[in-house]
Amino acid sequence: MALSKPIMNLLASYLQNLYIHPIKTKAITSCVVGSAGSIASQLVAGQSLRVDPILAFGLYGLLFGGTIPHYFYEFVERIFPYESTAFPLAKKLMFERLIFAPFMQAFSLYTLARFEGKNHSAALKQLKALYLTVLEANWKWLTLFQVINMAFIPPMLRVLFMNIVGFGWAMFIASKRRQQSQKK
């Protein structure tokens, strides 16, 4: 019981900040989760920690990982409202899977490479090498989580839910990028 009070206080503080400062809270959460995913990926691979990928994932999360999904989920709720749209969950899911996910995968792969210090042509080369593999894996493994997210998770917590899922996804992306760079 002694441990539950600090955890509950932390959770209450997080939810309060999510309500008062949603963008900032989601951005910081995405930064922490992305950095942690990169660290975990490197440790699982048995590598010594490299700072560039950790900073790249953290910066990506801070600038884009919390903000873009925040506005995306708000937009989806507006264009496919439950009360006036037939099959809103299916429409939201199709829109996310077929339009948003492909864009975000390309954007994240390119941006992560640039944040690691790669030039434009090297970032494009890495994007071309990884894009289809990563997008197919996204469709295969994350679709169920998106169904759960859009069907059962309150809108305010959707980015947080996908950040939790994103921890594992960040590990996957980091390992794919590492494998691709080792092929050179």
Residues 6 or more apart from 102 whose CB is under 8 A from it?
Answer: 135
pLDDT of residue 78: 93
For every one of its 184 residues, what pLDDT tens digit does the chain have, with 9 covering 90 and above? 566 888 899 999 999 999 999 999 999 999 999 999 999 988 988 889 999 999 999 999 999 999 999 999 999 999 998 887 789 999 999 999 999 999 999 999 999 999 999 999 999 999 999 999 999 999 999 999 999 999 999 999 999 999 999 888 878 887 887 787 777 6
Q: Are 178 and 45 in contact (CB under 8 A)?
A: yes
pLDDT of residue 178: 78
This prediction's pTM: 0.88
Percentage helix, strand, coil, to 5, in the chain? Answer: 85, 0, 15
Q: Are 96 and 149 in contact (CB under 8 A)?
A: no
